Structure 1
Amino acid sequence: MDPRTSGQDVLRCDHCEDNLAQMFCSLCPVNLCKLCVGEHVTDISKKHDVLPLNLRKSMIVYPLCKIHSREHCETHCEDCNIPVCSRCVNSDKHKRHFFTSLQDLLNVKKKSIEKEKKRLQETVISTFEEMASDFKSQLVGVDEQYEKLTSDVTKDGEERHREIDIIIQKTKDEIQEMRSKHKNTLNKHLNEIEKLIFDVKESLSEIEDILQSNEVLKSLSYEIRSDKFIKLPPKVNVKPPVFTPSKTQGQFLNLFGSLSHLSMTTEKHVFTMHSSEAVSSPKVKPLLEVPKLIASIKTEYSELYNVTCLSDEELFTSGNDNVMNIYDPQGKLLKPIQTKSGKNPFGIAVTRSRDLVYTDPDAKTINIVKKKNIQEVIRLQGWRPYNVCSTSCGDLLVFMSCEDKQKSKLVRYSNFSKKQSIKYDDQLKPLYSYGELKYICENKNLDICVSDYGAKAVVVVNQEGKFRFRYTGHPSTKTEIFNPMGITTDSQAHILIADYMNNRIHILDQDSQFLCYIVNCDLYFPWGLSVDTRDNLFVAEFGGKLKKIQYML
């Protein structure tokens, strides 16, 4: 058998296609036998780096520069977000730009992909397989349950007069229809789960290919997609109907029993994390009966509007100034950042990659702060952006109002491209009032919470923008006007709302149930709110103070 046409062929030279490959050129890249090395390197139109074949897997295949075709890119320009070669780095085009080693980016990306692989293997696919097994188990007993049901009906029918045979047959037909609907429902959900399992396996296969590959762009272009698998479809419980024989003597129709309805219910289904992922499931924390004021910080602002936690050790703030300040929890000013336009910012947020984002209503722009540079990432026409929130999946939620002073909406941006617009409820009535004083946060259950000062309400919609509930204050205080300003959420999916004029903070659960107030801690016109990873609450007071409060154990 010709080894070149067999499935067990060894690696051969890409030039002569006959001899065994003993070398490879990492820059071309091709496999070479020793006889063809000389001929290969005589091509002076390209650079060459010929190495023994056993070093091939350890070599990184850098992409070729799009401008200098003979150069390989080993650096990434942060400002332009592209790979660049050494000649590009020193060019005027990239003057004063920030650069990162592609090797470092590759290492970080590979770790992220490894984590994704582990997550899919240990948690996602096993959960889907468990759900599929559950549907299969339900299917096994369906025929037996319905056969018994049919038998019970038949037995009862035989004890009745022939005049009711037509009713018996009608009931049997209903049973068959319910059986079909029951099985179709289970099969439908089983098919959905098996499709998800197939998709996960395809993702794992793609990940394996990337992890085995040394191509930088192949890894860098991979988009993390496990988040879309984490939101599980509902767990469907279908119960067969129950036949109840008639015990009533009298009217003809009452001589025969009746069927209950086919019972179908859904319950929320969540992933059971393996031990390696158990840290991501927050433990239950009780609320303190009396919250504690931990620290009170006097900031540089005469009016303080916003605070958001950049980390547990850094607080990003803004107020009536064109400078945004970063403080540590002890009140030390770590870094001032002046806005690009010189105008005051309105809303601020921190992305998953810890970049700072702020809105500039006057310039109609959303801007991102990367190291020392401020980049305009979104410019609006006819709309002014006010508050902004960064979501768990990396999207931006931006609240904006039309310049005609009639319309407001909430817009989701993914990679700075418009993805979703939320304006109306199911009756096509506006969800939000017109005006700038709106604060946004995303809850742990992916609900979007907006405090609407103009409407004196908090409006909550789900991830798809469907209305869930509206909170207008606790019923016991209806004589007081609810003045919602800042809003935030914590690890328990509590919703915390600053009640500006009443000097208190409302705490709700994720389904709008009022839990308690924070009314002490010397609160004075609380405006902006943020919670760190330890569930410490930071309150930006209108008068310029920043307060740290412990409200959970």
Structure 2
Amino acid sequence: MALSKSQIPDTAQHLLVCGINSCEKICQFYCNPCHQPMCEQCRDKHQKSPETKNHEVVEKCRDHPNKDLDILCDQCSVRLCSKCSTMPVHKGHSFTDLEKIYTEKSAACRQEIQRIQTYFIPTTKDLQSEIKIDATEIKTIMDDIRSSMKDEGKCLKTLVDEVTSDNLEKVNKMEESLREMLQSQNKTYQDYISYLMDLLEKFRGYLSSSQLKNNPIIFSLTEHLKIQPIPETTKPVSPVFTAGRYSKGDVAKLLGRITVPDTKPENRKIKPMDTASTQLKPTVKQNKSDVKPTLSLSSSVTKVRKYTVSGVDRVYHLSLGKSGRLWVSDKDGNLVQTDLQGNQLHKIQTNGKDEGYHTVTQTEDLIYTDRNNKVINRKTPDNTITELIKTRDWTPISIHSSHINRDILVGMVKPGEAKVTRYIKTRREIQNIHSHNEGQAMFSGPHYITENTNGDVCVSDWKKEAVVVVNKSGKHRFSYTGQGLSKFYPKGVCTDHLGHILVCDHHSDTVHLLDPDGQFLCLLLTQQQGIKYPSSLCVDDESNLIVGQRDTNTVTVYKYLQ
């Protein structure tokens, strides 16, 4: 703490005092531009003032106030003035110029400042941005979980309503059967009473008859007195209702549960600092291998390759697996798996027709509809075929396995009606899309289905002459009916990594390209490029467009993105 002038002992009268605003405290510092000694507090104010913040303020020696502290004793690690260095206590010691030390330390500080500005702050901000992205993703995931939980609840409620309805119907039938039995028994006794009344009347007639010689009881009383026994009947056995015994935990098991995977969280990746040289580069060079190429529409469409698929006579629908292998079907139910050269790997016989009745899951399972039996089958990579879903009185005609959440979307029809149903992984029906809010039918024939990157469901409905697009909740977004065409017969439909919607027009022999909001962008393929009767298409992991046509068993691959 600085002393005032009155507190300075007589033996220290040679010390300078602060002259700033009559402070008069012992000074330890000196401003060279102002030629003014100052105490520590006044020094701080002096260096904070906008007018004097750049002044050179040096520290004065306490023992020799007229001398600057300009050297460092290497052995004692204390700052000294040149006069102090001659004192006996520092005899034989080595000294280093403080200005030299300051220059070296300043260079190190500037380098650290550069490191902070060019690496630590940007890298930390990148991590903050990553946290914001994670927060957004967590919000989306939790919203999806909440939605799935609600869907599970609705599904369970629907099942409960169905089971309750079935049980009530059984009760009604039991009651009707028991009523019929009791009515039959009642009629039996009513008929018996009528018999007894007739018999009673007959006996009374015998007693009142005056013609004894003709009275039947004179000859055979025993025969006339024989009365039929009272009919036997059984008492009804009443049904007994045994209430289901379940707890909240039992219901919770039916609805599923949310869990946190038992995995150790990964540390966020921190970009390494370039240590190739002691001087940090102004910017950190980005590794080219970490940069994902940006896709955009190419100025032209290029044919990459073309190959023939044996085992089918036409190509009406294509399903692509992760391995790049295709499942190809024709209108006669032939379903063939082929490699990239067209070699047949597997073949099965189905009752599918000219529609998108098969799809491949992320686990490489083939899922396909069975129109005749109204079921959906699954074929695993080991060639095991099992029944997956029963569609009851609806005929499944098209199907798509979601690569977003693994839901299964099925297009179904029955006389006068059409719908798209969503099943979750547990094969439970959680959503039916069939009409607008106004009650108008959404579909007539959902022959091809796909899902866009934003969760939209895209349905190619050639009976409506439109591609009908709804969002994940089933709300109608838009319908595309062709770009200025008098007729539009959409067939195969797919989406790419940019969210484009691609659809085959069977009428004009073209492939249309739309943006995610249904705006027409261009005719991607036309007759001039050899396209005829396009019926199916899909986009592979390399963003190549694969097209199948109904007049040939060849598959053509095009490059349209760059």
Q: TM-score, normalised by structure 2?
A: 0.48
Whichever structure has more strand as a proportion of its residues is 1
Q: Larger C-alpha radius of gyration, 1 or 2?
A: 2
